[in-house]
């Protein structure tokens, strides 16, 4: 094997190695960009959900309000019945 053939083998190996690295980088970079974008959207979604929790906190007492309204309307119906109306 001549010196030229040995050097050619190394050059081909380096070229193949560099090509593989470039292909991997070309595949990984878009994935990382997309992951970064998703991370930003996840933060916005989490903030929106926190606001939803704050804005709907009053709904926790809704069943108490409904119970009170039913007692009031039942009392009004009894009073109306007693008054003959």
Average of pLDDT values for 16-45? 96
Residue 2 has pLDDT above 70, yes or no: no
Q: What's the gap between Cα 83 and its chain centre?
A: 59
- CA 36, CA 28: separation in Å to the nearest integer? 12
Q: Does the pLDDT value for residue 7 go beyond 90?
A: no
Instruction: Kindly report the three-state secondary structure assignment for every residue of the chain.
Output: CCHHHHHHHHHHHHHHHHHHHHHHHHHHHHHHHHHHHHHHHHHHHHHHHHHHHHHCHHHHHHHHHHHHHHHHHHHHHHHHHHCCC
* Residue spans per domain, the chain: 3-82
> Which pTM does this prediction carry?
0.52
**Tens digit of pLDDT for each residue in 62-74?**
999 999 999 999 9
């Amino acid at each position: 094997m001549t010196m030229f053939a040995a050097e050619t083998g190394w050059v081909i190996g380096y070229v193949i190695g560099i090509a593989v690295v470039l292909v991997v980088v070309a595949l990984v970079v878009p994935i990382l960009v997309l992951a970064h974008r998703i991370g930003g959207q996840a933060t916005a979604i989490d903030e929106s959900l926190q606001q939803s929790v704050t804005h709907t906190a009053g709904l926790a007492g809704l069943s108490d309000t409904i119970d009170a309204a039913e007692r009031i309307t039942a009392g009004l119906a009894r009073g109306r019945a007693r008054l003959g109306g």
